[in-house]
Amino acid sequence: MTGKIVVLVTCSSAKEARKIARAVVEQRLAACANIVTAPVHSIYRWKGRVESAKEFLLIIKTTRGRFAKLKAEVKRLHTYEVPEIIALPIASGATNYLNWISESVGPPRGANKKTLVKVQHPISP
């Protein structure tokens, strides 16, 4: 296994999908989020009834290490009571693409993991 995953999330609207996609990429929780712009037709059981809805599918690429934070952010932004958040392992892939995923969700280049700030306090006489 590569340590990389694909996360599937269905959204109630294209607007919601764009909002979630932008947030997780900007926060470096995902390297990429594809939005399937044609709605998918979902048929599902909800509260004892068979329901159907048009939804928009997000296909998100990230790492296992970022999944918990990604999941929390999707839950925070999502309008569904029980959003679909499913992680599938990436068994193999192009090495340069898999490396790009890792780089995209890691700290920005040139950023130290620990930044020490020295503060000098003036001494009053």
pLDDT in tens, 27-64: 999 999 999 999 999 999 999 999 999 999 999 999 99
* Cβ contacts of 71-77, under 8 Å, gap ≥ 24: 71/7, 73/20, 73/23, 73/24, 73/27, 73/29, 74/9, 74/20, 74/24, 77/16, 77/19, 77/20, 77/23
Element (H, E) at 80: none
CATH code of 4-105, in short, is 3.30.70.120
pLDDT in tens, 70-113: 999 999 999 999 999 999 999 999 999 999 999 999 888 766 55
Domain boundaries, the chain: 4-105
